[in-house]
Chains A and B, each alone.
Chain A
């Protein structure tokens, strides 16, 4: 299969089941809602080193937020269901509670699994906190020096999918970056997915384990490193001098497949030789995103 001259390899991305929460932050202006969102999603690229993967899903106009102020929705994901409440409490407590004018709401109101967030953060109020129940949902008003921080008591938790990906194999670093930027731009703001890495792009794709250090969980994906072509079992076609990866997490497999399709399509441009994907032989992750099926319109 070729798209505008770019070869689509007959392979698949292997992804994992994760737990996901959607956080809706609002503030008086986009300046402050972005400030909180960027802090909350900082250092959250991979569970390998950050315990959590998070990203901005999309900006919300004031008319679409619970309190009618500018907002941003964020997806925050962990591998285990016990980890999610811990990470939510840490991050909302340190980055949203602290940020001027913000409030924080659950973005998965229909999810049957609920985890306590405001119910833990309320203790910061030192007994001065006040709860209000609205439409069956409890909210906590936590007094702070600026005024009050409003946070929903419980947040929904769903089974999501993490680790959808594709690799852009390009003739030059410039071409790889240009294609990756186009892919990330085309995927940004799509409901149900996030790109947890910087700018949505990863340059350091990894393989499971290490050739030399047994305790390492992951190490460089040497098969896709152009500088190692001569000294390792390379997976790179001739003419490829740079590879970038797009990693995509989402609330479900369909959202990821839809995002991958848009991203791959945008990445198929001059200077790109092929599109590939990262997998572990299909033995580790239950979700397999076949590139050719996705690009021909079939889902996972």
Chain B
């Protein structure tokens, strides 16, 4: 794969911007010119094109890298089905909203509801991988159906809220009510977590699938997986017992 397309922010965003249509559907084979025509909705100024805000350079060929301060960029990577999206800094709300495939790698923090379902919809991520190398706001991975959400620092409250399936891995502390109302799916906490009262402790064990997952995250993405994560023990909590009870929280423990 080539270096891909580089989208460099021309001027700092001074208002919230909705990127939900920029990478939705097929985009990986588009030219820079075609991508620059994709719409962005600005909170005050209304409709704009991606090319109005960013200088696009290179050939996408399945990869795009966003450069610039994007804390006000909402829904970046929403509906993604293919390709690799790299963001050098942080992003606003709802990054990877209802992502269905591909990979989003966010270098900084993500706002609330990363990888979640659009409000009023039943399903969040249905595939792909969303990596947040900073912290994630509330309700990350809410209503996930499939896919993998990685948060390297803190996950705010209600991570994995109402998950249907899929996996959320949090390297740092996890806020309250993680996995609340989940049907299936896994919240993996390598840092501190207090499971909701509707989760029941099952056992402390060494899940082999986590070794497989964490080994891949370390080797493929350079994530800071430590030997204690690979060789350690995890407390398994089943829940949410107010729902199907087929979900789980796997909480790393020093035993």
A binds B: yes
A133 to B208, CA, bound (A): 14
Question: Is A148's beta carbon under 8 Å from chain B?
Answer: yes
Decide if B216 is an interface residue (CB 8 Å cutoff): yes
Query: Any chain A CB within 8 A of the CB of B235?
Result: no
Interface residues of A (CB under 8 A from B): 26, 66-69, 103, 130, 132-135, 139, 141, 147-148, 150
Q: How distant is the Cα of A103 from the Cα of B210 in the complex, in angstroms?
A: 12
Contact with A along B184-208 (1 / 0, CB 8 A): 1010000000000000000001111
If A130-B184, A135-B216 touch, does A141 touch B209 (CB 8 Å cutoff)? yes
Report which residue of B147, B209, B215 has the largest number of chain A beta carbons within 10 angstroms of its beta carbon.
Answer: B209
Q: Is B167 an interface residue (CB 8 A)?
A: yes
| Smallest beta-carbon distance B229→chain A, Å | 11
B208 CB contact (under 8 Å) in A130, A134, A135, A148: A148
Given A135-B220, A147-B208, A150-B212, 5 more A-B residue pairs with CB atoms under 8 Å apart are A66-B216, A68-B211, A132-B167, A135-B216, A148-B208
User: Could you tell me if A67 and B184 are in contact, using CB atoms closer than 8 angstroms?
Assistant: no
A130 vs B186: C-alpha distance in the bound complex, in angstroms?
10
With contacts A130-B184, A133-B146 known, is A147 near B215, CB below 8 A? no
Contact indicator B205/A67 (Cβ below 8 Å): no
Interface residues of B (CB under 8 A from A): 127, 146-148, 167, 184, 186, 205-209, 211-213, 215-216, 220, 230, 246, 248
Q: Which residue of B is nearest A139, CB measured?
A: B209
Contact B209 A150, beta carbon cutoff 8 Å:
yes
B205→A66 contact, CB < 8 A: no
Q: Is the CB of B215 within 8 A of A66?
A: yes
How far does the alpha carbon of A132 sit from the alpha carbon of B167 in the complex, in Å?
8
CB pairs A–B below 8 angstroms (16 shown): A26-B208, A66-B215, A66-B216, A67-B208, A68-B211, A103-B208, A132-B213, A133-B147, A134-B212, A134-B216, A141-B207, A147-B205, A147-B206, A147-B208, A148-B208, A148-B209
Across the interface, name the chain B residue whose C-beta is closest to A131: B165
CB distance from A129 to the nearest CB of B (A): 10
CB distance from B94 to the nearest CB of A (A): 23
Question: A119: shortest Cβ distance to chain B, in Å?
Answer: 16
- Whether B209 contacts A132 by the Cβ 8 Å rule is yes
The complex places the Cα of A66 from the Cα of B146 at a distance, in Å, of: 22
